[in-house]
Amino acid sequence: MIFQILGLLVVGLIIGALARLLKPGKQTLSLVGTMILGVVGAIIGGLIGGLFNDSTNPFELNFLGFIFAVIAAVLLVGVAEAVLGKKKHSV
pLDDT tens-digit map of 35-54: 999 999 988 888 888 787 76
Number of neighbours of residue 35 by Cβ within 10 angstroms: 21
pLDDT above 50 (res 1) = yes
Chain-wide mean pLDDT for the chain? 83
Number of neighbours of residue 48 by Cβ within 10 angstroms: 18
> 16, 70 in Cβ contact below 8 A?
no
* 56 vs 49 pLDDT, higher one: 49
Confidence of residue 25 (pLDDT cuts 50, 70, 90): confident
Q: What pLDDT, on the 0 to 100 scale, is given for residue 47? A: 84
Which residues make Cβ contacts (< 8 Å) with residue 18, sequence separation at least 6?
70, 73
Q: What is the pTM of this model?
A: 0.81
- Alpha-carbon dihedral of residues 28, 44, 13, 9, nearest 10 degrees? 130
